[in-house]
Amino acid sequence: MKKFTLLLLILLSTSLVAQEKKEIVLKTDVSEATVFIKGAQVLRKTTVNFPAGKSTIRFSQLSPYIDAKSVQVKIEGEVMVLSVNHQLNYNDSIKQTDEIEQYAKQINDLNEKIKLEQTTKDIINEELTFLRENKKIGGTDGVNFTNLKATATYYGERIAALKMKEIETDKKIKTWSDEKYTLERKIAIAGNLKPEPTGEVMLLVDSKTALRLPVELSYYVNNAAWYPSYDIRAKNISEPIELVYKANVMQNTKEEWKNVKLKISSVNPNLGNIAPILKTYLLNYYTQAPRYDGNDLSNQVRGKVTDTSGEALMGTSIMIKGTTIGTATDIDGNFSLSIPAGGGNLQISYLGFKQKILPISNSYMNIVLEEDQKMLEEVAQKKAAFTGAISTMSMEGNAAGISILESKPKNIPLPVIQVENTTSVEFEIKTPYTILSENKNTTVEMERYSLPAEYEYYCIPKVDKDAFLLANISDWEQYNLLEGEANIFFENTFIGKTILDIRYVTDTLNIALGRDKNVSIQREKVKEYTTQKFLGSKTETTRDWKISVKNNKRQPISMVLFDQIPVSTMQEIEVIPELLSNGELDKENGEVKWKFVLPPTQKNELELRYKVKYPKGRTLTVE
């Protein structure tokens, strides 16, 4: 009977062990990164040996800035994913304490070295003092010259040796003191730094048999961004423009991107994606038209939750009152939440603190919670959970909107591909890139275009007598450009920077290529026609300007020139254009425009003359 009982216990024990969940810890590398205007989508790929039965897969050492709602997991094979959790792990922050202890040990060693050298220096000073006090040589029988010479030689050599040794000792003391100061600064910095956790994603899976399957993990992470810039090169005014489209990428996600497949996207996930609605325009006395501020247009509210001391409250629940729309604050107390079309109030809850209900008054809100005195004991337990034995904060994956993918992503093995999606443009870079988490700018060339351009010189000599070269580009929309700064190179020379602003461009994109000193322009007043006469009750004033343009280049140039005549705002003041040299006059604003082609080394002279009549006895200032 005893043997049977023992056998039964062994079988039960074996059964319980078999039912225990096995944990597999994965340390993976980033395979792909899609960088948005703000933020990035990170993809990690690996292969996992799944044991039979239930097991836990833990992706460790991830970024602490992961948006839990964006986590997606894909497993190809007959493995059931039971749950997906995102959490933060504070265990790795213990390394900071070990680092401080190591610094302290190095400082103690330096102190011993400095103390030893200081003792050596004291001995040197005592010997120098002894030599100075006993340098006189004398006696009853006078001084022996040979002894005097030998003593003087010894004295000089010994003093020199001691001085050199003193200099060497001072150098050592200074070197070790500098090292000690550097270590003390490191300790001060490390002591003031907030311990940073690492992100983790936990999968609970169930497999009928042992399998080896590929697994993909993707998520959105903050602290990454890119902005566009350009190089614009024009060899001369008869060849197309070369435009180099560049992305300036930076990230500080606390995870390294080493030799990753990089994609650059024009998407900004932080903008709201809910279409706006019109408010009823109720017209009455003393009422104003509806206003649509940034909050209405973005349909998103962001903010930060802290306690009264300014400490961030991680894991605070943020809900739209009366709905199931909600989120939780991240490690820094920040949150972002989409707002329904009708707006609403925020309901902010955190264990141990008084709940707040606030109207959404702005697109960014700083929220301060006050402790609830009746729940101080629960608050203490809550804080202990973050800083004590429990080192992780987890969030249920399904509740946070974590997805389990089933479809396989497309793999396009082409160099640099411009993928035009419904609402965005994406550039796929074939060459692997390494972008470290140090917030430094990495320039990535995305595309290089040869743009057919019509070159035109532009000048307003009344304002600036230099000719500005413009390149006019049609059908520019096909290149999917974004506004950004551009470096300009003309005739193989860097001539400065400009702004490529496509927000207000029509069907033609005008790129300013800077000043060209090979086109000389002069504007001067013609004296013989600049007069003032008194005729009857009117005063008559004539102004005459001569404009000359010379092309010193070897190619013909297309020129657009502007000047103006005044525009009268009173009936009694009359402005009469007399000579425009075939220029086009806009009567609304007085602008005169000349457009012509000027052959090489040729000169064109234009004349602008106008007459102004106004009542005698009145003062009128005419240029």
The residue among 125, 159, 192 that closes a domain is 192
CATH of residue 548: 2.60.40
Q: 3-class SS at 194? A: coil
Is residue 485 in a domain? no
The token duo for 289 is: 């038209």
Is residue 451 in a domain? no
The residue whose two tokens read 């959490």 is: 87
Q: What is the DSSP letter of 275?
A: P
- On the question of pLDDT at 407 being above 50, the answer is no
Predicted local distance difference test score (pLDDT) of residue 474: 84
- On the question of pLDDT at 7 being above 50, the answer is no
- 381-394 b/e (C-beta count within 10 Å ≥ 16 → b): ebeeeeeeeebbbe
> Could you read off the pLDDT of 420-440 as tens digits, one per residue?
444 467 888 888 999 998 878
Q: Which amino acid is residue 99, in one-letter code?
A: E
Is residue 40 in a domain? no
Range scoring the smallest mean pLDDT among 60-64, 460-464, 493-497? 493-497
- Phi then psi dihedrals of residue 475, to 5 deg: 55, 35
Q: Please name which of 297, 331, 303, 307 lies closest in space to residue 318, comparing C-alpha atoms.
A: 303
Give mean pLDDT, residues 207-214: 91
> Could you read off the pLDDT of 163-173 as tens digits, one per residue?
888 888 888 88
| 8 Å CB contact between 433 and 262 | yes
| Cβ neighbour number for residue 325 with a 10 Å cutoff | 14
Q: 3-class SS at 29? A: coil
Is residue 598 in a domain? yes
Q: Which of 74-88, 89-103, 325-339 has the highest mean pLDDT?
A: 74-88
The token duo for 541 is: 């004033």
Q: Whole domain around residue 365: which residue ranges?
A: 294-388
Q: What is the DSSP letter of 564?
A: E
| 8 Å CB contact between 578 and 611 | yes
Distance (Å, whole) CA 434 – CA 249: 11
More confident residue, 445 or 338: 445
Is residue 218 in a domain? no
Distance (Å, whole) CA 421 – CA 425: 6
Using pLDDT thresholds of 50, 70 and 90, give the confidence band for residue 519: very high
Predicted local distance difference test score (pLDDT) of residue 363: 80
The residue whose two tokens read 């390149």 is: 471
Beta partners for residue 613, in sequence order: 540, 574
Q: What is the DSSP letter of 314?
A: T
The residue among 171, 192, 213 that closes a domain is 192
Q: How far, CA to CA in Å, does 143 sit from each of 132, 149, 157?
A: 19, 10, 21
> Could you read off the pLDDT of 113-159 as tens digits, one per residue?
888 888 888 888 887 787 777 665 544 455 566 666 676 777 777 77
The residue among 388, 411, 432 that closes a domain is 388
Rounded to 10°, the helix 145-192/94-133 angle is 160
CA torsion 148-151-152-158 (nearest 10°) is: 180
CATH of residue 311: 2.60.40.1120
The token duo for 366 is: 């700083």
Q: Please name which of 367, 359, 352, 350 lies closest in space to residue 308, comparing C-alpha atoms.
A: 367
| 8 Å CB contact between 577 and 583 | no
Range scoring the smallest mean pLDDT among 45-49, 173-177, 335-339, 486-490? 335-339
- On the question of pLDDT at 570 being above 70, the answer is yes
Strand 257-265 and strand 30-35: the pairing is: parallel
Q: Does pTM top 0.75 for this prediction?
A: no
Is residue 554 in a domain? yes
Predicted local distance difference test score (pLDDT) of residue 292: 64
Q: H or E segment at 471? A: strand 464-474
Predicted local distance difference test score (pLDDT) of residue 186: 74
Beta partners for residue 174, in sequence order: none
Q: What is the DSSP letter of 276?
A: P
Give mean pLDDT, residues 584-591: 93
Is residue 399 in a domain? no
Residues 6+ apart with CB under 8 A from 428: 261, 263, 412, 414, 416, 417, 419
More confident residue, 364 or 338: 364
How many domains is the chain partitioned into structurally?
3
Q: How far, CA to CA in Å, does 427 sit from each of 246, 256, 499, 501?
A: 11, 21, 22, 20
Is residue 544 in a domain? yes
